[in-house]
């Protein structure tokens, strides 16, 4: 048995001005910027209500897209479950796995990182 749930929506931006992209998505979605956003860092996490899904604006080198992060208490079990559903492993990183859905969409599987995981996660046998 293991658990998983949707953790993040990650907006991948191929940009030299991450703060400008984060400002746009902050205004578009109604989630404020953090008090001191790190414009030079790899990502800016918008401020969402406690326990809600996180929204992250991330600097990338590939084409712009959005991807989902699934959080789980057993990465190996969740990856195996998703493979049985037709997903495939693209790459394994230190702490997460990049996968691709049958539709071609990329997503990540990693450990829980926000509040309420035990109460809000799906239980899989």
| CB distance 106 to 67 below 8 Å | yes
What are the extents of the domains in the chain?
A: 2-124
Tens of pLDDT, residue by residue over 1-58, are 999 999 999 999 999 999 999 999 999 999 999 999 999 999 999 999 988 899 999 9
Confirm whether pTM is higher than 0.85. Answer: yes
Dihedral pair phi/psi, residue 82, rounded to 5°: -70, -35
| CB distance 4 to 123 below 8 Å | no
Tens of pLDDT, residue by residue over 73-115, are 999 999 999 999 999 999 999 999 999 999 999 999 999 988 8
CATH architecture observed for domain 2-124: Roll (3.10)
| CB distance 58 to 43 below 8 Å | yes
């Amino acid at each position: 048995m293991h658990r998983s749930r949707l953790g993040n929506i990650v907006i991948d931006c191929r940009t030299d001005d991450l703060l400008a992209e984060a400002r746009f998505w902050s205004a578009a979605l109604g989630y404020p910027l953090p008090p001191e956003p790190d414009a030079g860092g790899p990502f800016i996490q918008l401020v969402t209500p406690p326990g809600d899904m996180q929204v992250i604006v991330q600097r990338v080198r590939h084409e712009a897209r959005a991807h989902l992060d699934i959080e789980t208490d057993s990465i190996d079990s969740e990856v195996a479950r998703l493979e049985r559903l037709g997903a495939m492993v693209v790459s394994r990183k230190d702490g997460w796995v990049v996968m691709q859905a049958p539709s071609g969409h990329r997503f990540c599987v990693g450990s829980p990182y926000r509040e309420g995981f035990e109460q809000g996660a799906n239980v899989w046998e």
